[in-house]
Amino acid sequence: MIEALKKVPRHIFVPEKYRKYAYVDQPLPIGENQTISAIHMVGIMVELLELEEGMKVLEVGAGSGYHAAVIAEIIGERGAVYSVERYPRLAEMARENLRKAGYKNVFVMVGDGSKGLPEYAPFDRINVTASAPEIPKPLIDQLKDNGIMVIPVGRIFQELKVVRKRGEEIVVENWGGVSFVPLVGEYGFKD
């Protein structure tokens, strides 16, 4: 995980204006009132996901594309990341950043990621980078058996949840308090 964080050129994913803060461990604005997560948060989530080479990963909230790049670094060229973003302008920026940084196995789509991406499901792992009112049912459905999803839940008081699917059983663990922008969509918040 540390190796992946060292490898991904974060300055490429940070808007020009904030570039000198690219390696400071804090969230930064990326436009549309959204933020690129702090480096430590990306590290924590990536570790909780227990990624392995060759995995197929769904990300909800592409933002700058940075988090997806760190995941792509770990799963390698045999793996793939499908990342959904609701703002077309951010999706375009993420694609451009990922292209500049040389990641060819991250596919950024525009849409409501709270519904997942049924056409590419099921996924080994799901990484949600915006906070949901509750764990969206479509995301649980699109997780493979033995799959893991990491998702912040809550509006003001938020907790990072680690969701494991074991057959019919869904095991949810709390990692602790976090702070993310809201997940806005059909299975998210309404504004």
What residues make contact with ligand SAH under the rule CB under 6 A? Answer: 34-37, 60-61, 63-64, 66-67, 84-87, 90, 112-114, 129-130, 181, 183-185, 188
Kindly name the residue from 37, 64, 83, 131 that is annotated as catalytic: 37
How far apart are CB 169 and ligand SAH at their closest, in Å? 26
Of 46 and 148, which CB lies nearer to ligand SAH in the complex structure? 46
Of 23 and 171, which CB lies nearer to ligand SAH in the complex structure? 23
Known catalytic residue at 37: yes
Residue 47: its H or E element: helix 39-48
How far apart are CB 70 and ligand SAH at their closest, in Å? 8
- ∠ Cα 55 175 147 (to 5°): 25
Of 121 and 181, which CB lies nearer to ligand SAH in the complex structure? 181
Tokens representing 77? 């060229």
Q: What share of the chain is helix, strand, coil (3-state, %, to 5)?
A: 30, 35, 35
Pick from 127, 133, 25, 49: which is nearest to 83 by CA? 127
Residue 56: its H or E element: strand 56-60
How far apart are CB 69 and ligand SAH at their closest, in Å? 8
Of 92 and 171, which CB lies nearer to ligand SAH in the complex structure? 92
In angstroms, the Cα distances linking 175 to 22, 25, 47, 139 are 26, 20, 12, 19
User: First vs last Cα of the chain: how many Å apart?
Assistant: 34
How far apart are CB 13 and ligand SAH at their closest, in Å? 6
Distance CA 115, CA 64 (A): 21
Active site residues: 37
